[in-house]
């Protein structure tokens, strides 16, 4: 018996749930299907959002011989078998090759398609859950149009669930199917935009529930919660979701939004990614809080060490404390900007030699070479300061550090303004 997700798979673009930004009336993919002239395309997006379904619909409308490969188990030999048919009667009009999970093909396998894509004998429709700019050969990218599929909205997922319920109801004879609205709402929210995950949850609930004495199969909230167990969080340790959540986490702290920061921390905690959280918190303390509150680095280091020692689930508590501390602290990126500016000069300027008076003079003969001769020892002067040149001649007027507009750095600036005057 086919899985429920396959039973309800749309055969027309109008039946596809969501993706209206590319599938809606007169949107780009809608126009392509209506024209019947398809080009090379790459569908990019999370699982269960309709990439394979849309690819199948477009391929069938093209009027060409259709091949489908999954890059997780396909090989170079499979591609060669397809290319052999291009010069036969079977491939006289060209072929459409749907390549699912293309990120699993290595560079050589992807390159093997180039010749046939270039002359139009193969029209490629590929799908991937990974960022195509990181995983797909550049020559293929330049010959393809990338379409991003987004997580499906809850209202659209509910439409798919109701369609599945209607189809499944027809399989029952005397037995009636009663899926409560609360159960549908929960499935639509639990799956995080993955239609297939929602349909699979419904299918498990249906298959595991027996009719009651009134010959009703009742699917309520408790049944679907039991069938789905734990809510799915889109996350992987080296994919887009990983970096997107970490990026949102840091930007929320930088933006001083403690609520958003705690939300993204919760996602990372749910994924069990302790190492990434700890590393990112320490980076934020230095990069975004910086000299506005220098003690933040010490406090965060202590909390991070505590989290590592505790492990999950208790680690969530010191991590939350560090996150809220950083989000609500004053901000300064003056140190971050200073070091990046200095590094940029190293790459793009002729820096010149270190001034002689700053060079090492702790060896015999240093004086004869002028090393350290004119150096002034600051501690021998009032306020432990004396004016002298420290930067190389070529950049002696460069300023890398600009005092931040916060209490700590303002006080530091006022002190040095008084001393240096």
Q: Are 43 and 63 in contact (CB under 8 A)?
A: no
Query: What pLDDT is attached to residue 83?
Result: 79
Boundary of a domain, candidates 120, 148, 176: 148
pLDDT digits 0-9 by tens, 11-51: 888 888 888 898 888 888 888 888 877 889 999 988 888 89
CA dist 30 → 19, 52, 143, 148, 237 (Å): 11, 16, 20, 15, 35
Together in a domain, 144 and 166 = no
In a domain, 234, yes or no: no
Boundary of a domain, candidates 115, 148, 181: 148
**CATH number of the domain that residue 33 is part of:** 3.40.50.300
In a domain, 142, yes or no: yes
Residues of the chain with pLDDT under 50: none
Together in a domain, 120 and 72 = yes
Together in a domain, 247 and 320 = yes
The predicted model scores a pTM of: 0.63
In a domain, 4, yes or no: no
In a domain, 7, yes or no: no
53: tokens are 């379904």
Torsion sign, CA atoms 186, 166, 46, 154: negative
Together in a domain, 26 and 86 = yes
Fill in the DSSP letter of residue 369.
Answer: G
pLDDT digits 0-9 by tens, 232-272: 555 555 555 778 899 999 999 999 999 999 999 999 998 88
Query: What pLDDT is attached to residue 382?
Result: 93
Query: What pLDDT is attached to residue 90?
Result: 57
Together in a domain, 34 and 142 = yes
The domain of 294 spans 240-328
Boundary of a domain, candidates 148, 182, 207: 148
Fill in the DSSP letter of residue 286.
Answer: I
Together in a domain, 137 and 244 = no
240: tokens are 């887009």
Q: Are 89 and 22 in contact (CB under 8 A)?
A: no
Together in a domain, 377 and 413 = yes
Q: Are 55 and 68 in contact (CB under 8 A)?
A: no
Number of domains in the chain: 4
Q: Where are the alpha helices (DSSP H) in 8-153?
A: 20-23, 28-35, 51-61, 76-84, 107-111, 114-118, 132-135, 138-142
Query: What pLDDT is attached to residue 46?
Result: 84
In a domain, 344, yes or no: no
Together in a domain, 312 and 245 = yes
In a domain, 97, yes or no: yes
Together in a domain, 292 and 369 = no
71: tokens are 């890059």
Together in a domain, 169 and 268 = no
Together in a domain, 160 and 136 = no
**CATH number of the domain that residue 398 is part of:** 1.10.3710.10
134: tokens are 């990181």
Together in a domain, 135 and 160 = no
**CATH number of the domain that residue 282 is part of:** 1.20.272.10
Quick check: helix, strand or coil at residue 216? strand
User: What value, to the nearest 5°, has the Cα angle with vertex 124 and ends 118 and 127?
Assistant: 140
In a domain, 199, yes or no: yes
**CATH number of the domain that residue 214 is part of:** 1.10.8.60
In a domain, 206, yes or no: yes
Q: Where are the alpha helices (DSSP H) in 236-377?
A: 240-254, 258-270, 274-284, 295-310, 316-328, 334-348
Spatial distance between the Cα atoms of 23 and 82, rounded to a whole number of angstroms: 29
């Amino acid at each position: 018996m086919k899985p429920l997700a396959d039973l309800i798979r749309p055969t027309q673009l109008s039946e596809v749930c969501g993706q209206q930004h590319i599938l809606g009336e007169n949107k780009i993919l809608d126009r392509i299907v209506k024209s019947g002239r398809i080009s090379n395309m790459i569908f990019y997006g999370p699982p269960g959002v309709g990439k394979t379904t849309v690819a199948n619909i477009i391929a069938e409308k093209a009027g060409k011989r259709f091949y489908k490969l999954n890059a997780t188990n396909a090989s170079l030999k499979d591609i060669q078998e397809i290319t052999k048919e291009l010069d036969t009667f079977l491939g006289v009009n060209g072929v459409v090759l749907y390549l699912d999970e293309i990120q699993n093909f290595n560079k050589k396998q992807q390159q093997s398609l180039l010749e046939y894509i270039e002359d139009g004998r193969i029209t490629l429709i590929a799908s991937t859950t990974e960022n195509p700019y990181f995983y797909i050969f550049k020559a293929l990218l330049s010959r393809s149009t990338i379409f991003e599929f987004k997580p499906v909205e809850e209202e659209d997922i509910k439409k798919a669930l109701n369609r599945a319920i209607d189809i499944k109801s027809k399989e029952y004879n005397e037995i009636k199917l009663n899926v409560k609205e609360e159960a549908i709402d929960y499935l639509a929210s639990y799956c995080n935009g993955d239609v297939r995950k929602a349909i699979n949850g419904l299918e498990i609930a249906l298959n595991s529930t027996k009719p009651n004495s009134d010959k009703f199969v009742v699917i309520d909230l408790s049944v679907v919660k039991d069938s789905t167990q734990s809510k799915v969080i889109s996350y992987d340790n080296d994919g887009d979701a990983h970096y997107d959540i970490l990026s949102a986490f840091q930007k929320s702290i930088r933006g001083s939004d403690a609520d958003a920061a705690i939300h993204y921390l919760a996602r990372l905690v749910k994924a069990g990614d302790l190492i990434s959280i700890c590393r990112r918190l320490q980076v934020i303390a230095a990069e975004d809080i910086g000299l506005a509150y220098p003690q933040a680095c010490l406090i965060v280091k202590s909390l991070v060490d505590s989290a590592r020692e505790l492990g999950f689930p208790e680690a969530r508590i010191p991590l939350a404390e560090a996150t809220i501390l950083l989000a609500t602290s004053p901000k300064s990126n003056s140190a971050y900007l200073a070091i990046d500016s200095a590094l940029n000069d190293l790459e793009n300027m002729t820096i010149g030699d270190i001034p002689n008076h700053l060079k090492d003079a702790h060896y015999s003969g240093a004086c004869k070479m002028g090393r350290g001769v004119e150096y002034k020892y600051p501690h021998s002067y009032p306020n432990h300061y004396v004016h002298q040149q420290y930067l190389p001649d070529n950049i002696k007027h460069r300023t890398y550090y600009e005092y931040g507009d916060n209490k700590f750095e303002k006080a530091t600036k006022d002190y040095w303004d008084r001393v240096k005057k």
